[in-house]
Amino acid sequence: MVDDGGDDAANVASRSDTKTADDDDGGHHRQSRLFTDDDGSFDADRARDESLPVEDGEVVDTDDLAEHQTYLEGRGIYDERNAVNDLTGKEWKFATKSVIPEGYPPAVQHDLRSEHGGQKPPRLCAELIGRFSKVGDTVLDPFAGVGGTLLGASFCEHEGTGLRHAIGFERTERWIEIYEEVLERENEERRARGEPPLSAQELRHGDCADLIEDLDDETVDLLLTDVPYWNMDELEQTRNERETRASKLGVFDVDVDADAEADDGEDGAEGEAGTATEPTDDSTDERIETGDADDANSQTKAEWLADMAEKFARFATAVKPGGYIVVFIGDMYREQSYEFLSADLARAIDDAAPVSLKADLVWYDPTKDLHVYGYPFSFVPSMVHQHVLVFRTDRDE
Ligand SMILES: C[S@@+](CC[C@H](N)C(=O)[O-])C[C@H]1O[C@@H](n2cnc3c(N)ncnc32)[C@H](O)[C@@H]1O
């Protein structure tokens, strides 16, 4: 990751190295004066309309840029030393936000992908891939499901700074079939709209603990994944029960049956916080992964954490020095108490793998309906967020 892609990245958008007419004595100030509003203050919108490079409310004099800086039209200043991603300074600044307040309406053959139940929005994955990798990098998802990460890596080609090569591992054949069908259907629709097709990525069938052995050490630039959950069997039952109850319970402002609410409040929240009567797209509170039922049946939480710790310690050896490991994980509400799974998992991975925890991003889906389980007897959160843990491999670069 460290050495790859810098030039490619800069080539993604057009360079603007052209000297202005006012070369030698602060053309930047003169340009600024040309774009003043009636009060004499700088009019950044006008300057932007004229396609002048504007950063932090001032026209950039491209002659003032350092050797390692390039102005990318419409995007800002790119620093050739950027070893993390292909973002310009202002894009990077935006990407440091610790909350991603974004709903993702059903898209990318959602009906097909939602058979999985734990799928992630491909465009959210693309956003994270853009933050933590460079064009041409290799992205690994060892728990790939129906391919949210893989599709995200392909979207980067057309909606980001360029294509990433993605490898996924998935042990349930059905999810692989769905990924392939999603890609086929999506590309038919794209062709019909005159858009270039999404690139196919590699989705390998098998257990990630075996498949990881086929990857050479330090060949992956970014690991982006969504872990299989603990206690899936109970969650699945809970979901069925919950859906039955949810139809009675409804959202808070609906007239509900008080007895049902008192009863269902605590029970209904068991297994996970929040409700998912009608997830929009790849919802923040789905936590049902039928593909995981076997393991989950026999795992305590401690065993689940130990399993994840062992797996991530092995995965980390495949990641290049200084590469990022980014993990989706939602907390859950179970047996009337809050399970802080994100914190537990962060600690387990941090202790077991040669990585450091760098961030806990929160994906907040503002479009989610709120549902009420505890009212008026106890507080049960409506989960409208998931955590995105960000680790970086510790080894020397
Ligand atoms: C949370 S889901 C991932 C969903 C994915 N992000 C998507 O967008 O579809 C976790 C996936 O890991 C798979 N899985 C669980 N344990 C596995 C293992 N040991 N090897 C390979 N896949 C596994 C499950 O079948 C499940 O599809």
What CATH number does residue 327 fall under?
3.40.50.150
Q: Give 171 Cα–ligand 1 centroid separation in angstroms.
A: 7
Q: Give 116 Cα–ligand 1 centroid separation in angstroms.
A: 9
Residue 256: per-residue pLDDT: 35
**Which range marks the domain in which residue 46 is found?**
22-83
Final residue in a domain of this structure, among 83, 115, 136: 83
Q: Give 92 Cα–ligand 1 centroid separation in angstroms.
A: 30
Q: Do 55 and 179 share a domain, yes or no?
A: no
Determine the atom of ligand 1 nearest the C-alpha atom of 175.
Answer: 27
Assess contact for 365 and 384: CB atoms under 8 A: yes
In a domain, 291, yes or no: yes
Q: Do 79 and 120 share a domain, yes or no?
A: no
In a domain, 114, yes or no: yes
Q: Do 119 and 212 share a domain, yes or no?
A: yes
* pTM score, whole prediction: 0.78
Ligand 1: lining residues by beta carbon, under 6 Å = 116, 118-120, 143-148, 169-172, 175, 207-209, 226, 228, 289, 291-292
Q: Give the model's confidence band at 64: pLDDT under 50 very low, under 70 low, under 90 confident, else very high.
A: confident
Of 126, 133, 105, whose CA–CA distance to 198 is shortest? 126
Q: Do 161 and 298 share a domain, yes or no?
A: yes
Determine the atom of ligand 1 nearest the C-alpha atom of 122.
Answer: 8
Cα distance between residue 265 and residue 284, in whole Å? 20
Q: Do 166 and 55 share a domain, yes or no?
A: no
In a domain, 10, yes or no: no
Q: Indicate if the pLDDT at residue 306 is higher than 80.
A: yes
Q: Indicate if the pLDDT at residue 217 is higher than 70.
A: yes
At how many degrees (to 10) do helices 301-318 and 341-352 cross? 50
Give, as one character, the DSSP assignment of residue 38.
Answer: T
Structure tokens of 16? 């603007």
Q: Do 71 and 174 share a domain, yes or no?
A: no
Residue 74: per-residue pLDDT: 82
Q: Do 52 and 151 share a domain, yes or no?
A: no
In a domain, 270, yes or no: no
Q: Provide mean pLDDT across the span 34-55.
A: 61
Q: Provide mean pLDDT across the span 163-179.
A: 98
Q: Do 121 and 168 share a domain, yes or no?
A: yes
Q: Give 158 Cα–ligand 1 centroid separation in angstroms.
A: 26
Q: Provide mean pLDDT across the span 185-196.
A: 98
Instruction: Name the residue of 170, 178, 303, 311 whose CB sits within 8 Å of the most ligand 1 atoms, as the mutation to test its pocket.
Output: 170
Instruction: Name the residue of 201, 231, 292, 299 whose CB sits within 8 Å of the most ligand 1 atoms, as the mutation to test its pocket.
Output: 292
Residue 52: per-residue pLDDT: 63
Q: Give 208 Cα–ligand 1 centroid separation in angstroms.
A: 9
Taking only the tens place, the pLDDT of each residue in 254-263 is 333 333 333 3
Taking only the tens place, the pLDDT of each residue in 222-247 is 999 999 987 644 454 455 455 445 43
Residue of 293 and 92 predicted with greater confidence: 92
Structure tokens of 288? 């049902």
In a domain, 317, yes or no: yes
Q: Whose CA is nearest to atom 10 of ligand 1?
A: 228
Q: Indicate if the pLDDT at residue 10 is higher than 70.
A: no
Determine the atom of ligand 1 nearest the C-alpha atom of 225.
Answer: 6
Residue of 230 and 264 predicted with greater confidence: 230
Q: Indicate if the pLDDT at residue 89 is higher than 50.
A: yes
In a domain, 26, yes or no: yes
Residue 132: per-residue pLDDT: 98
Residue 36: per-residue pLDDT: 58
Q: Do 141 and 52 share a domain, yes or no?
A: no
Residues contacting 278, CB < 8 A, separation 6+: 369
Fill in the amino acid letter for 380: V
Q: Indicate if the pLDDT at residue 273 is higher than 80.
A: no
Determine the atom of ligand 1 nearest the C-alpha atom of 291.
Answer: 25
Q: Residue 179, Cβ neighbours under 10 Å: how many?
A: 27
Q: Do 44 and 190 share a domain, yes or no?
A: no
Q: Do 294 and 362 share a domain, yes or no?
A: yes
Q: Give the model's confidence band at 335: pLDDT under 50 very low, under 70 low, under 90 confident, else very high.
A: confident
Residue 257: per-residue pLDDT: 36
Determine the atom of ligand 1 nearest the C-alpha atom of 229.
Answer: 1
Q: Whose CA is nearest to atom 7 of ligand 1?
A: 119
Q: Indicate if the pLDDT at residue 178 is higher than 80.
A: yes
Assess contact for 13 and 162: CB atoms under 8 A: no
In a domain, 375, yes or no: yes
Residue 372: per-residue pLDDT: 84
Residues counted in the chain: 397
Cα distance between residue 252 and residue 250, in whole Å? 7
Give, as one character, the DSSP assignment of residue 208.
Answer: H
Give me the number of domains the chain comprises.
Answer: 2
Q: Do 299 and 373 share a domain, yes or no?
A: yes
In a domain, 72, yes or no: yes
Structure tokens of 164? 């990433």
Q: Provide mean pLDDT across the span 157-169.
A: 97
